[in-house]
Chains A and B, each alone.
Chain A
Amino acid sequence: MKLTNLLTSAAVALGLAAGAAWAQDKTKVGFVYVGPVGDGGWTYEHDQGRKAVEAEFGDQVETVYVENVAEGPDAERVMTQMALEGADLIFTTSFGYMDPTINVAKKFPNVKFEHATGYKRADNVSTYSARFYEGRAVQGTIAGHMTESNIVGYIGSYPIPEVIRGINSAYIHAKKVNPDVQFKIVWAFTWFDPAKEADAAKVLIEQGADVILQHTDSTAPQAAAQNAGNVITFGQASDMAEYAPKPRVSSIIDNWAPYYIARTKAVIDGTWESVDTWDGIGAGMVGIGEISDAVPAEVKEAALALKESIANGTYHPFTGPLNKQDGSAWLAEGEVADDGTLAGMNFYVEGIEGDIPQ
């Protein structure tokens, strides 16, 4: 993969040398990816967004990307390189790129940065994310109905607010339709490691889970569930339709294309401003993949009704009464969680067992 990096940077360098010669005003958009574009999940969808930008603007833009960039100092190096090579807009697409993005943005005040899923902004740094927890509510509903062992396995990546929000949202809605449901949570401490993800899924299945939810990026848990037989899963970040109709019964699909096109347009027009975007099902940033026939019709109906009520804003997945894990009150009857609390969520809701790794 380092080779791909090398090739990409070589291509970037060539592109710059050549580009400067005939098209000074071509807008250059860079993307930094945490996994390979062929992961079939998170990075795949970001790359679809990049391709949509190319398709939309054609010769007006030039896009570059570097895949498999480790979160940390490596990311800073890659971003600096991109900025030095003349990128006008850089999308950094993983939570762990937050501080590197802020650091590099300080050095290049004229380059615009867009950081996915983080919470630190600057004059030239926007943040954007999708309300994946809305999709998790739909998954939780299906999971609660479908589980026969009443054990739902959950593969977490890193204990960051985005992942914890997803666990809470799924749990609340599974519990709502099935009071006996229990969540077993395994932290993989990786976004992408198919072998480890497969191991985690197998362990959860061995311990009785018949529904597997994942917040990691590869399709390995789907394959593990398929081999195990009577287990259902949900596509993560991408549709993962190749595992439909079973084990994959539905999915959360990230749709970044409209946002990437809008932001690139803003840079071309010179109207770019630092903003904080957090859109969900309603705005189309979060899509729910087709619910397959493995799900009974009435369950499918309930899930779609929930999706509809979230989309039109009549229902919020975090609506009281809700308590925190320790039993203390969080939201009163009918109260809705504010975005600030959600953005920094670092606690489980009442009923989930286990501790969040600190």
Chain B
Amino acid sequence: MDLSAINPVLLIASLMVAATPLLLAAIGELVVEKSGVLNLGVEGMMIVGAIAGFATAVESGSPLLGFVAAAFAGAALSVLFAILTQFAQANQVASGLSLTLFGLGLSALMGQSYVGIKPPRMGDIHIPVLSDLPVIGPILFGHDIILYFGIALTAAVWWMLKYSRMGLVLRAVGENHDAAHALGYKVLRIRLMAILFGGACAGLGGAYISLIRVPQWTEGMTAGIGWIALALVVFASWKPWRALLGAYLFGGVTVVQLNLQAAGVAIPVEYLAMSPYLITILVLVILSADKSSAPASLGRNFHASR
């Protein structure tokens, strides 16, 4: 066992990268659920975002354009979900699940000619002086722009939900859509916006995997991260900063356990392999011991005539 082989600076820097796709998807889903809609299609939107972003980046040579395309692709897929659940009044759970299945199949089809291709690289930002600082430099100032965007988005969503009028309306729709409707708010329109936002975030998260974290395209490459994001929203009790904490914890323990394995720590590998799930759930369950609960209208369809 040789713990000195683990470089804590590189460790923290790489855990931030591992956590970002999860964070982006979770923040998007958090807003969707706050508006009272349960979209189980996160995985599907992520993988479609992953291939759309990848393909665009390869064709245009610009990773940033790829991310934009990924956000649009994720949002476009979520429109399907919105039509089914908000206008056709279909069951949200079933629609979300089928969105995931559809997304996985569609992405495999779209990705046929992109297997084995290398995407253009997204450069890390470099701030003179700051990025060169020992320890703090590589951790705080040496990442790609999307990683910072994820953190900024968390702050923005937190502020929006807590302090803005828009957040108040969104929460009202999620807690009691009949009351919100009676007050004159357009429940369907607000939910549609939330669903689109969630789709765009999931698409970004997917593209982060295919353009930065891995970076390449392979079928099924999101490998369940969308589902973990869904669980994370619940365990984070629909609070943005807790979602961030959960994502970093999950990403962190994932990277740490691989590091410990490589350093030859004498903990059975099976325990290490399950530790990201266990520790994340444990911490967030303890945190959610206060009385925060799900939006009251979560998963219930709204129709003005009822």
Contacts and interface: CB of A to CB of B under 8 A. Distances in A.
Interface string A258-283: 00000000000000000000000000
B290 interface: no
A33 to B, nearest CB: 11
Interface string B106-146: 00100110011110010000000000000000000000000
Interface string A1-35: 11110110000000000000000000000000001
A1 B269 contact: no
B175 interface: no
Interface stretch (A196-204, A308-316, A341-349): A196-204
A67 B216 CA distance: 20
Given A1-B219, A187-B261, A203-B262, A219 B116 contact: yes
A327 interface: no
B264 to A, nearest CB: 5
A240 B218 CA distance: 13
Given A195-B225, A196-B223, A198-B213, A227 B259 contact: no
Interface in B4-26: 5-7, 10-11, 14, 18, 21
B179 interface: no
B279 interface: no
A193 B262 contact: no
A258 to B, nearest CB: 25
Contact of B101 (A3, A35, A184, A207): A3
Contacts of A190: 223
Given A4-B105, A357-B270, A219 B216 contact: yes
Interface residues of A, number: 49
A38 B216 contact: no
Contacts of B273: 187, 189
A315 B146 CA distance: 53
Q: Which of A6, A189, A195, A354 has the most CB atoms of chain B within a 10 A radius of its CB?
A: A195
A61 interface: no
Interface string A178-217: 0000001111011011111011101110111000000000
A74 interface: no
B218 A194 contact: yes
Contacts of B108: 1, 4, 36, 38
Interface in B57-116: 101-102, 104-105, 108, 111-112, 115-116
Nearest to B251: A199
Given A38-B219, A219-B116, A186 B111 contact: no
Contact of B258 (A6, A40, A203, A353): A203
A38 B262 contact: no
A40 B10 contact: no
18 contacts: A4-B108, A187-B269, A189-B273, A192-B223, A193-B223, A194-B214, A195-B18, A195-B21, A195-B213, A195-B221, A196-B223, A199-B14, A206-B6, A206-B10, A207-B263, A219-B116, A223-B215, A357-B269
Interface of B: 5-7, 10-11, 14, 18, 21, 101-102, 104-105, 108, 111-112, 115-118, 121, 209, 213-216, 218-223, 225, 254-255, 258-259, 261-264, 266, 268-270, 273
